[in-house]
Structure 1
Amino acid sequence: MHYVESPTSPLYSSISNTSFSSSPSGTFYFDDDEGEKSDEEEEEPDEEEKNQSLEEVDVSVLKTFLNDKLHQLGEKPQMEYPELDLIPRCRFRPSDYILIVHYVINKVLNYPLPCDWVEDAEELYNHNPELIAGSS
């Protein structure tokens, strides 16, 4: 099951209306005053800047940026999704912040997601999922 941010949500519109840039050092930053043009001509990026990959993006700056955007929204994270019909004992209900910071950023940067191995259990559904995940 995939959760997709609605194009009408404040987070989507906030991020989609922001232009992103990358410096030669690989630092990630965003431009708030996208509509304002300077009197000076903008320099063309050199070949090194054009070939810069997403792996060079500073993850901590990206996380800080997204954290600031989430706090600007001023909304409490949605912890329950009543419209979902989940199987019994399904307890994975991450907040929007957790999804963005721990999963979406890694997905965008093409980093492998951490793999949590679940130990073999005869009756897996009779155990608390939080305890099983913590025991590996």
Structure 2
Amino acid sequence: MKKNVKRMMALAAAGILAAGALTGCGGGADTAKTEGAAASGEKKTLKVAMECAYAPYNWTQPDDSNGAVPISGSNEYAYGYDVMMAKKICEELGYDLEIVRLDWDSLIPAVTTGQADCVIAGQSITSER
């Protein structure tokens, strides 16, 4: 049991670090947009990309039970450890959360093109990334 708890904590920390590192990869135009939204009192939205197909980290379900979050452009919901981390990050930042479901190979390009603000998924650092 202790081993599983330690593993979960390590994965959660890695998810936060990955989200923070990838958030900075977006374009400069988004920064001006969010600063304008903050000045007008609008709540900002964090778009988090994930596969929604890798339980227990993230998966798709038909309803919002247990705190699942709607998937953008879908009538389905996402939940799992990655979604819980995304919700916690948004809670701390005061942002709304939008889950963007993408294929694995599209996750990193989504951040570089502005389709998503960050990726929360079990990705390791590689020379390509």
TM-score by length of structure 1 reads 0.24
Structure richer in helix, relative to its length: 2
Which has the larger Rg?
A: 1
